[in-house]
Structure 1
Amino acid sequence: MGRRKRNIAEAKDLYDNSKESNALFEKYYTAQAMLPEAEWPVFMTAMRRAYLSHSESPVSVSLLKLLRTRYLEDLLSLTDIRPPEPLPWYPSGMAYQLHTNRLAIRKINELQRLHSFLVTETETGHITRQEAVSMVPPLVLDVRSSHRVLDMCAAPGSKTGQMLELLHRGDDSEAGRSSGELPDGLIVANDVEPAHDGRAYMMVHQLKRLHEPLLCAVFPRRSACPSPSFVAAPRWTAWRPLDRVLADVPCSGDGTARKNPGVWRRWKPGHANNLHLTQAKILKRGLELLAVGGRLVYSTCSLNPVENEAVVGKLLLETEGSVELVDVRPLLPGFKSLPGLSSWKVMGANGTLFEKYSDVPVGRDHAYLRPSFFDEGYKDLPMERCMRVLPHLQDTGGFFVAALEKRRHLPWMNPPSGTRRRPQRLLRMPALRMDAQFKRPLEMSPKSKRRRFNEDPFLFMGPEHPVWRGISETFGIDSGRFPCGNVLYRCETSKKRHLYLVNDCARRLVQGNPELKTVNMGIKIFSVCDDAEYKGYRPLQEGLSLLEPFITLRRIRVPRCDLLVLLEHELPFSDRFTEATRTAWRALTLGPVVIDYRRDGEDAQQLPDVDLCLAGWRGRTTLRAYMNRHERLHLTRMCGVEDLVEIRGKTAGQGDGEGDDEDGPSDDEEAVEPPAAAAAADGNDGEAE
């Protein structure tokens, strides 16, 4: 056996689940009759076959073209591994599926270039690696550019990032970005406070890579939650209700047995039974927040009907026809799924199966089994409109998706005239006010005052703010065109180190809810620069796509040859550039600059085939571009250049004699993520459902 085949065999053995089994699991799901008897062996084989799906979702056509033509060629020569292929049901072919596990990608030599590509593009936010079937809920949510969207249980954040991409696609996002315009919508990523949940930290890390002004990450107080596992949602009663809500709820996760082999050893019927009420509360709260005509998508990575059809059926009965279960399969042509179950059995802790609640013995041993677990009363509901995804249908994980649309106000939120009955409150949280003008701040009880968050407040600038006046004069920004009223900072007294930009909807959310714990919001656009010869602010690369249309001063345009010099060297001296670039460089004083690359006059086949704008620094003897190692690797790939050896080290200019150049400040805020965070991101090949 050759070395390559031996490596492939060893990598496959690392994820050998073929001997995993659980007698209760097989007994329970065999009794559900969710498959024809002939398909059961195929289903169980697929459940045991170790497999981890990576779905890459590039945000640009150029990056997708590069992936197809350059990084998949090596895989085509491998006869042992099925080459990556686009998911037929994902819009515009913007997602690829790898038919191998993550350890094989690292171990096989032919896949190392692809692995390096995936790591770099994931770190820069251009690609998201995710379980393929977990990409379904955001697609059927049908997000538009003007929608207010709440992701109720957002951690670890992959679905939130996907919805942000879809929100931009609601309009011509490229045209909007080039003109500096932003969609009117907003996505609020909500999860429990991260004190005891590492997934919440993962969510913040994931979302910071996206550099989005349409995103707000919030952590409601854990004290507001009925139980530690309950994911609370803010109360938005004074603003127009939400257009879309995603409730990807906590679940037992037995649909992930292929990538999480521990599920086979841990699976018990009580896991799903104990989560049923929590899931129903989350779904009910989401429906309360939803606008009439809006859509909520409920999803789990579980196969258990107690967590799926029983939860949906319970809420459909409680809403008394004000909510409709809709079939969203037409939105996913080519996607294979089974209809929801109309009948099922419930298993007790000792493995006994019950068809009806009346069959459950009276006593403490079965006190946790509730009437809502059973299919009685749900048989007349259109459960076939739900989507059940099983592993053997299209080589994915197991999943459940149900889409509900609100046709009229919920019965408990629309009391009859003449009554004073107030809407039910599942959470004791202050009402969220979304209007910019409100009469007085929220009043808090003495008890809640003791729980104030130690978070710096969000404060907004305006055209007359002294800091903004200095920035607009330096870079020639017309404050009448640029939405400077949406520029915020988080330090009231000391120097404002970073400035962020949000859209109008996010600003109203912050101004109307001073007590909301917002941990991450907007896109960073400026950072303070305290150099010996320049004191002021410099634009940051992550927000430059929005700033660039408004900046008229301190710009340098470079040809492709000079762009490659900037990418190859950390601090290149001015004499490395062309005469035209040196002339523009001499015309500027020391300080931050915007470096432009435009395709005008270039060969049509020459890479990069897109316009680029880089945040840079004009030093006394150098011209540099501010970017970390991953961003540099990304741009060299876009230029069609092989990965430069210098870039793979800690600093791109080491050994050139340029590392000691005194020009420009350090770039601490744009440094590469700490090793622990980077490793966490690298290992998050899919939702940790």
Structure 2
Amino acid sequence: MGGGRKRGRTQRRHFKQGRENVWKHNPQRPPAAEGGEGREGNPSWQPFATENPAFEEYYKEQQIIPEEEWDDFMSMLRKPLPSTFRINASCQFFQDICSQLENDFRKSLETEVSDEHEEDAIRPLPWYPGNLAWHLNFSRMQLRRNQALESFHEFLKRENEVGNITRQEAVSMVPPLFLNVQPDHHILDMCAAPGSKTFQLLEMIHQSTKPGLLPNALVVANDVDVQRCNLLIHQTKRMCTANLIVTNHEAQNFPGCNLAKFCSETCMDEAKLQRLEFDRVLCDVPCSGDGTVRKAPDMWRKWNAGMGNGLHRLQVEIAMRGMGLLKVGGRMVYSTCSMNPVENEAVVAEILRRCGDSVELLDVSNELPELARRPGLNTWKVRDRGSWFGVHEDIPRYRKSVVSPSMFPSGKGSKDVEVNTDVIDADMKDSTDMVEGEQETNTAINKSNDDDDQKTEEKAEVDCESGEAPTRYKKLNSTSTRTEHSDYPLHRCMRIVPHDQNSGAFFIAVLHKLSPLNESHVVDGVKSEQNISKDKTGKLEKDLGSDKVSSEENIVHQQVVDDTNVLDGEQNRDMGSKSSKDKTSEDTKVIGNEAEKGQAGTRDRRRQQNQGRWRGVDPVIFFKDEVTVKSIVSFYGIKDSFPLDGHLVTRNPDTSHVKRIYYVSKSVQDVLELNIKVGERLKITSLGLKIFERQSSKDGSPCTFRLSSEGLPLLLPYITKQILYASAIDFQHLLQYRTIKFPDFVDAKFGEEASALLPGCCVVVLREGHQDIGSIATDPSAIAIVCWKGKTNLCVMVSPLDGKELLERISLRFGLKIPKLDEEKPNPKITGSDEQPDGATETDDQECLPESKASDMEIPDAGEAE
């Protein structure tokens, strides 16, 4: 998980809570109902309490809303969150879905309005462009239980699963809109799971391109947790895109890929142009999540003031890393689903403080004018151990290493307190070991205090989650009366509160990078850490041992001297074993000596690295088997205008046993080539569009690879062989019965053409009316499916879910009725692996993920996607 690096207690607790199944551990959870009764029929069941005095006291004191609005604010927080969803404008049936919503469901749901304050049961969100996002006047629970809404609920689930819509909280759709994505942008989603924002970004880049063409844009979606990466991949697979890379890194340590650091002086000019930077960065950081109480009522029970304080430093580190990876002139959106100013305005102010004139906070009040929002705060307080503080100087000495100055409006603290500075650019250095060294040094500093202070801090840490001070020190924590005001224009930030538009709560800030970040901030920060370590050497040796102290000092020093150490150190940390860690220290010393002798040794060492350096993750290999590629091109008659060279990748280094071939866009190809040149710094768990799959057949086929349903829309305009054109009725029968013998087709000529094909995979295209075949073949919006031509029949190779959705779509479009199958007469089945539908192998795509199985992936209700 995240390179095997240990996390702090707060961070580990956060991700643990993030995956907690509330109902599984709830002692009040009702037993399974009998006789069809729900929870209402169980008198022992009680809903979650929607009260927390500490929550109300905290936000009253922070004054995030005027006092006269407090009752409305709390009343709205206690109501269930309405469901919302977004239509995928780049999907094939976009117009059909819009028409169905407007003409069918909108009218049928009018009688089901349950809120006297809502005029419509279903309506478009006025602030979302193109009427693509819709608001329902029903919560997720109402959708599940109301029989009158059953058909609409099934519609939502089915269309969400195939990727035509995405069920997502309304306020969660806001941050990507402020990125102002353009068709050629490279975009980084730093904390991407569960993936609904990533899917939204993919919609944007594909919507900006003509149908059938790949955009020049690229989305890199990253998450620290392997299981959450599984969920992220599951969400984004619905898009069927060749412009996505999914990575598994700690966001604050996201690796930089800068070829200039790995080249000799002779190729330096060319290498300067090759580095991984992004035009847009979405920094939706881990947070306390108290803005989601309407969706997750258990938050009322779990919330305490210490949650935001514990995540503040992590949020700053992630945001600073994102700013370092951002191109000059680029835009970064920082967002949380928290209302806490310590997680919001304080982080933004710290970014502006560290970056100086290199970054500005944008005023986007003219963008999305119909979105109700509140300006950011310029003053707030920090609550620690049950007391309020307005300035850092009033924090007791034993807490100053925990409550940082950056949590306060001014960001200024005592002279003896060092503020971590991690200002970095992608073209300066990597932060992979920088932050780790910072964390280790801070830990050492805390341990180096005198014995009394050390005991005090240990005693204080025991009660961290309760938010109360230890009894022995409560008298020291008198509430501070002094307050500060930030000099930064934090009113340009946006806080969305629930009672403004019947939504959840969210915070958004839009930052613009004006110039490269100041490298001197990095060097000064590292030097100050070195000085602190040296001043405390005696104490450090006593607490940690002299070997560890020496190692920590060397790490900090080498971060500035030689960036190449990160490669081997990061790889060995990912192995997670003690022997690997010991080897890391030895390799670090070896490479350090080589750096002193010259660059030749490190270049040779780098060339010897094998692909697939990340444990449990299959390597990304460019597929260059010319014999196989020529066989595929010849069998399907793929036109030369479709680029294949350099666009095909696989996850298996043994070309003779490759099961799947993926297609990647030119932008992804460039990133992969750069990643290989710099020693595979990116831990890639998923990428590309599955376009070909190996398929065995007992009857034999001239081509060992069949077409994938996912890649068919991209490849269809370029296929000239193994292609059939079916009437609407025969196309419907294929989807309905899945296997049909050649003489049984309504159109006898179609049956003859099917029997004349070569055995193996083929494509069946829906012919609407009397369309010319030539125009259908070049139409990127044509409806087509992958089939298998056997000796006597044609078999559909589409997953049952996709087949059912497609069947209903064409039935609505052509006014065809779907007769029920005769349950007593089983459908004809074709034996052999060559007759299995496409969906039978989809779960195998999880092979590239580390230490995880597809069956272990916990996928919550799609409506919970944030």
TM norm structure 1: 0.85
- Give the Å deviation of 1:583: 3.0
- Give the Å deviation of 1:444: 6.0
Call closer, same or farther: CA 1:454–1:368 in 2, change over 3 Å: closer
Q: Which residue of the partner structure matches residue 590 of structure 1?
A: 759
Q: Distance in 1 between matches of 2:636 and 2:407?
A: 63
- Give the Å deviation of 1:483: 3.0
Secondary structure (helix, strand or coil) at the match of 1:35 reads coil
Call closer, same or farther: CA 1:260–1:356 in 2, change over 3 Å: same
Q: Which residue of the partner structure matches residue 527 of structure 1?
A: 693
Call closer, same or farther: CA 1:22–1:430 in 2, change over 3 Å: same
- Give the Å deviation of 1:521: 0.6
Q: Which residue of the partner structure matches residue 388 of structure 1?
A: 495
- Give the Å deviation of 1:53: 2.8
Call closer, same or farther: CA 1:654–1:276 in 2, change over 3 Å: farther
- Give the Å deviation of 1:477: 1.2
Call closer, same or farther: CA 1:624–1:84 in 2, change over 3 Å: same
Q: Distance in 2 between matches of 1:456 and 1:199?
A: 18
Call closer, same or farther: CA 1:8–1:668 in 2, change over 3 Å: closer
Q: Is the 8 A contact 2:381 2:388 kept in 1?
A: yes
Q: Distance in 1 between matches of 2:823 and 2:763?
A: 21
Q: Which residue of the partner structure matches residue 734 of structure 2?
A: 566
* Partner residue of 2:784 out of 613, 616, 621: 613
* Structure 1 residues 569-606: Cα deviation after superposition (integer angstroms, max 9, x where no partner): 1102222331231232133122211111133537xxxx
Task: Work out whether 1:28 is the aligned partner of 2:58.
Answer: yes
Q: Distance in 2 between matches of 1:486 and 1:670?
A: 26
Q: Distance in 2 between matches of 1:326 and 1:84?
A: 34
- Give the Å deviation of 1:15: 12
Amino acid at match of 2:77: M
- Give the Å deviation of 1:111: 1.2
Q: Distance in 2 between matches of 1:643 and 1:256?
A: 43
Q: Is the 8 A contact 2:697 2:832 kept in 1?
A: no
- Give the Å deviation of 1:188: 0.7
Secondary structure (helix, strand or coil) at the match of 2:84 reads strand
Task: Work out whether 1:190 is the aligned partner of 2:222.
Answer: yes
* Partner residue of 2:328 out of 264, 279, 292: 292
- 1:318-333 alignment, distance < 5 Å: 318-333=354-369
Q: Distance in 1 between matches of 2:767 and 2:612?
A: 56
Q: Distance in 1 between matches of 2:366 and 2:752?
A: 58
Gaps of 5+ in 2: 1-35, 260-274, 412-484, 524-556, 571-600, 772-779, 845-852
Q: Is the 8 A contact 2:798 2:838 kept in 1?
A: no
Q: Distance in 1 between matches of 2:767 and 2:609?
A: 59
- 1:240-279 alignment, distance < 5 Å: 241-279=277-315
Q: Is the 8 A contact 1:51 1:99 kept in 2?
A: no
Q: Which residue of the partner structure matches residue 545 of structure 2?
A: none
Secondary structure (helix, strand or coil) at the match of 2:499 reads helix
Task: Work out whether 1:67 is the aligned partner of 2:116.
Answer: no
* Structure 1 residues 236-262: Cα deviation after superposition (integer angstroms, max 9, x where no partner): 334152101111000001111111112
- 1:222-241 alignment, distance < 5 Å: 232-238=253-259, 239=275, 241=277
Secondary structure (helix, strand or coil) at the match of 2:397 reads coil
Amino acid at match of 1:666: Q
Call closer, same or farther: CA 1:146–1:34 in 2, change over 3 Å: same
- Give the Å deviation of 1:654: 8.7
Q: Which residue of the partner structure matches residue 585 of structure 2?
A: none
- 1:636-655 alignment, distance < 5 Å: 636-641=807-812, 655=825
- 1:467-478 alignment, distance < 5 Å: 467-478=628-639
Q: Distance in 1 between matches of 2:820 and 2:327?
A: 54
Amino acid at match of 2:792: T
Higher helix share: 2
Task: Work out whether 1:397 is the aligned partner of 2:497.
Answer: no
RMSD: 3.6
Call closer, same or farther: CA 1:231–1:578 in 2, change over 3 Å: farther
- 1:432-581 alignment, distance < 5 Å: 443=605, 452-462=614-624, 465-479=626-640, 481-493=642-654, 494-514=656-676, 515=680, 516-535=682-701, 536-574=704-742, 575-581=744-750
Call closer, same or farther: CA 1:681–1:124 in 2, change over 3 Å: farther
Secondary structure (helix, strand or coil) at the match of 1:471 reads helix
Task: Work out whether 1:685 is the aligned partner of 2:863.
Answer: yes
Moved more, 400-409 or 25-34: 25-34
- Give the Å deviation of 1:660: 4.2
Amino acid at match of 2:750: T
Q: Distance in 2 between matches of 1:521 and 1:449?
A: 16
Task: Work out whether 1:360 is the aligned partner of 2:431.
Answer: no
Q: Is the 8 A contact 1:636 1:643 kept in 2?
A: no
Call closer, same or farther: CA 1:445–1:261 in 2, change over 3 Å: farther
Q: Is the 8 A contact 1:294 1:406 kept in 2?
A: yes
Q: Is the 8 A contact 1:189 1:217 kept in 2?
A: yes
* Partner residue of 1:165 out of 203, 214, 225: 203
Q: Distance in 1 between matches of 2:57 and 2:646?
A: 61
Q: Which residue of the partner structure matches residue 169 of structure 2?
A: 131
- 1:86-105 alignment, distance < 5 Å: 86-105=124-143
- Give the Å deviation of 1:95: 1.2
Q: Distance in 1 between matches of 2:616 and 2:860?
A: 31
* Partner residue of 1:635 out of 806, 820, 833: 806
Q: Is the 8 A contact 2:611 2:619 kept in 1?
A: no
Larger Rg over CA atoms? 2
Q: Which residue of the partner structure matches residue 308 of structure 1?
A: 344
Q: Which residue of the partner structure matches residue 83 of structure 1?
A: 121
Q: Distance in 1 between matches of 2:836 and 2:39?
A: 46
* Structure 1 residues 214-254: Cα deviation after superposition (integer angstroms, max 9, x where no partner): 0011113xxxx5xxxx6532213341521011110000011
Q: Distance in 2 between matches of 1:16 and 1:170?
A: 49
Q: Distance in 1 between matches of 2:189 and 2:862?
A: 19
Q: Is the 8 A contact 2:284 2:336 kept in 1?
A: yes
- Give the Å deviation of 1:112: 1.2
Q: Is the 8 A contact 1:569 1:653 kept in 2?
A: no
Q: Distance in 2 between matches of 1:100 and 1:399?
A: 21
- Give the Å deviation of 1:19: 4.7
* Structure 1 residues 85-118: Cα deviation after superposition (integer angstroms, max 9, x where no partner): 1111111111112222222212111111112112
Q: Distance in 1 between matches of 2:129 and 2:721?
A: 40
* Structure 1 residues 401-445: Cα deviation after superposition (integer angstroms, max 9, x where no partner): 0010100011127999xxx9987999984499xxxxxx9979569
Secondary structure (helix, strand or coil) at the match of 1:542 reads coil
- Give the Å deviation of 1:656: 4.0
Call closer, same or farther: CA 1:529–1:367 in 2, change over 3 Å: closer
* Partner residue of 1:214 out of 228, 243, 251: 243
Q: Distance in 2 between matches of 1:207 and 1:214?
A: 11
Q: Is the 8 A contact 2:392 2:405 kept in 1?
A: yes
TM norm structure 2: 0.69
Secondary structure (helix, strand or coil) at the match of 2:739 reads coil
Q: Is the 8 A contact 1:528 1:538 kept in 2?
A: yes
Amino acid at match of 2:335: S
Secondary structure (helix, strand or coil) at the match of 2:510 reads strand
- Give the Å deviation of 1:669: 5.2
Call closer, same or farther: CA 1:533–1:71 in 2, change over 3 Å: farther
* Structure 1 residues 506-545: Cα deviation after superposition (integer angstroms, max 9, x where no partner): 1222232243321111000111111022341111111101
Amino acid at match of 1:490: R
Call closer, same or farther: CA 1:129–1:559 in 2, change over 3 Å: same
Moved more, 399-408 or 585-594: 585-594
Q: Which residue of the partner structure matches residue 269 of structure 2?
A: none
* Partner residue of 2:159 out of 121, 127, 136: 121
Moved more, 300-309 or 589-598: 589-598
Call closer, same or farther: CA 1:654–1:56 in 2, change over 3 Å: farther
Secondary structure (helix, strand or coil) at the match of 2:519 reads helix
Amino acid at match of 1:541: S
Call closer, same or farther: CA 1:132–1:300 in 2, change over 3 Å: same
